[in-house]
């Protein structure tokens, strides 16, 4: 079922959902299941599965390092199929521009369609580690809006190159990313919102936000998006702080602002067990306020370990 249909069916009740990261290649999927199992009690209508783009690895060839390109966390669509089958829940693969040609994306979407996957999240992806800026993959897309257009075209049976009659219309519900504190490359929030509007105009059906720790950032973002004519659901994505290092890491990687009160509480902590507890409590407060405000879904970034998300869900749902 589509995310938009789940939201409609809920009739104003806030739904619980979360995002998981595929395990590193060579690991078993059982660890993932052990983290998903405790969260199923909160009835998520859908689970997102991220995609990691390719990266360089260096292999020691007798003193000389050989550079090879690989994907350390492959298998997004396979994991979506496995989870969908095991838990009878909708799964949402993240589809990237970076690292994929349009053809490869089309094959992936065809697989998703065969597997009965109804939703996809369309994202640009980040620059590779050695790149200063995102560089379009040869034969791929530059912006998420172009990827949205490719996915939307399947609704009309328009596949690439149009060399054949395509009777099958793959009607994916399309999610895109939104940034309450603006995307790190955008010159202003206003400009970034215009690009978000473009993604919606190209066919996106809903938005999931980047994490934020001040709910005001989300509320203002939604207000500005609505004023601009973006009418699709805007799902808040939130994450509990889990280790002290997040105080530097999250602002550095995502260019987000952490509230003084949260920083002060984390700095008082003697170890990361205490930080994890502070993160849970902060996220519970954020979740309760967002739920009271009537958000359609509370979407949690689980980053592998689910004990903290379970503690939050227990208090909020
Ligand atoms: P876009 O919408 O293409 O925007 C990228 C930048 O370009 C923005 O600054 C925007 O303002 C600007 N822009 C857009 N269109 C134009 C245009 N026509 N002209 C000029 N500028 C333009 N990353 C992963 O690698 N894997 C994941 O699974 C993943 N999941 C995510 C899930 C969520 C909910 C979120 C919020 C992010 C996720 N990301 C993921 C991170 C995402 O890939 C990065 O934030 C990336 O840098 C931007 O992706 P986007 O889809 O927002 O890009």
Query: How close is the Cα of 46 to the center of ligand 1, in Å?
Result: 21
User: Is there an atom of ligand 1 within 6 Å of 177 CB?
Assistant: yes
Q: Please give the domain boundaries of the chain with CATH numbers for all domains.
A: 3-239 (3.20.20.220)
Convert the pLDDT of each residue in 106-120 to its tens digit: 999 999 999 999 999
19 belongs to the catalytic site: yes
Tokens at residue 45, please?
């209508």
Query: How close is the Cα of 125 to the center of ligand 1, in Å?
Result: 6
Q: For atom 20 of ligand 1, which residue has the closest CA?
A: 195
Query: How close is the Cα of 269 to the center of ligand 1, in Å?
Result: 34
Q: Please identify which of the residues 19, 106, 149, 181 carries the catalytic annotation.
A: 19
User: Is there an atom of ligand 1 within 6 Å of 145 CB?
Assistant: yes
The residue written with tokens 């095991």 in the block is: 86
Which ligand 1 atom sits closest to the C-alpha of 208? 34
User: Is there an atom of ligand 1 within 6 Å of 123 CB?
Assistant: yes
What is the distance between the alpha carbons of residues 54 and 216, in angstroms, rounded to a whole number? 35
Q: State residue 242's pLDDT score.
A: 95
Convert the pLDDT of each residue in 6-52 to its tens digit: 999 999 999 999 999 999 999 999 999 999 999 999 999 999 999 99
Q: For atom 25 of ligand 1, which residue has the closest CA?
A: 125
First to last CA, the chain: 22
What is the distance between the alpha carbons of residues 40 and 59, in angstroms, rounded to a whole number? 40
Convert the pLDDT of each residue in 43-64 to its tens digit: 999 999 999 998 888 888 888 8
What is the distance between the alpha carbons of residues 11 and 16, in angstroms, rounded to a whole number? 14
User: 25-58 in b/e burial notation, b at 16+ Cβ within 10 A?
Assistant: eeeebeebeebbeebeebebbbbbbbbbbbeeee
Nearby residues of 195 by Cβ (< 8 Å), 6 or more positions away:
143, 145, 183, 186
Report helix, strand or coil for 244.
Answer: coil
Q: For atom 40 of ligand 1, which residue has the closest CA?
A: 125
Nearby residues of 22 by Cβ (< 8 Å), 6 or more positions away:
32, 49, 50, 51, 52, 73, 74, 75, 76, 79
Q: State residue 305's pLDDT score.
A: 85
Q: State residue 164's pLDDT score.
A: 67
User: Is there an atom of ligand 1 within 6 Å of 124 CB?
Assistant: yes
Give the pTM: 0.97
Is 303 a residue whose pLDDT tops 90?
Answer: no
Report helix, strand or coil for 101.
Answer: coil
Convert the pLDDT of each residue in 125-166 to its tens digit: 999 988 999 999 999 999 999 999 999 999 988 999 876 667
């Amino acid at each position: 079922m589509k995310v938009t249909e789940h939201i409609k069916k809920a009739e104003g009740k806030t739904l619980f959902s979360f995002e998981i990261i595929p395990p590193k290649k060579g690991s078993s999927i059982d660890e993932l299941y052990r983290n998903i199992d405790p969260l199923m009690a909160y009835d998520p209508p859908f689970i997102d599965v991220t995609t990691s783009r390719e990266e360089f690895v260096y292999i020691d060839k007798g003193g000389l390092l050989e550079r090879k390109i690989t994907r350390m966390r492959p298998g997004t669509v396979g994991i979506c199929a496995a989870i969908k089958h095991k838990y009878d829940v909708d799964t949402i693969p993240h589809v990237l521009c970076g690292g994929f040609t349009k053809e490869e994306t089309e094959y992936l979407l065809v697989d998703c369609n065969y597997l009965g996957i109804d939703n996809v999240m369309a994202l640009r992806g980040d620059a590779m580690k050695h790149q200063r800026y995102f560089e379009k993959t040869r034969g791929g897309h530059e912006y998420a809006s172009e990827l949205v257009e490719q996915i939307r075209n399947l609704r009309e049976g328009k596949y690439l190159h149009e060399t054949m009659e395509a009777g099958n219309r793959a009607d994916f519900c399309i999610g895109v990313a939104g940034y309450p504190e603006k995307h790190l490359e955008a010159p202003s929030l206003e400009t970034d919102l215009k690009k978000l509007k473009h993604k919606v105009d190209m066919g996106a059906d809903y938005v999931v936000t980047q994490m934020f720790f001040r709910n005001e950032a989300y509320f203002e973002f939604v207000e500005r998006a609505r004023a601009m004519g973006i009418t699709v659901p805007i799902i808040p994505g939130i994450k509990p702080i889990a280790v002290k290092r997040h105080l530097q890491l999250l602002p550095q990687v995502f260019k987000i602002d952490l509230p003084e009160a949260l920083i002060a509480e984390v700095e008082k902590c003697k170890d990361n067990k205490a930080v994890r507890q502070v993160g849970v409590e902060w996220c519970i407060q954020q979740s309760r306020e967002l739920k009271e405000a009537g958000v359609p879904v509370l979407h949690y970034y689980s980053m592998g370990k689910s004990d903290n998300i379970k503690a939050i869900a227990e208090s909020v749902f």
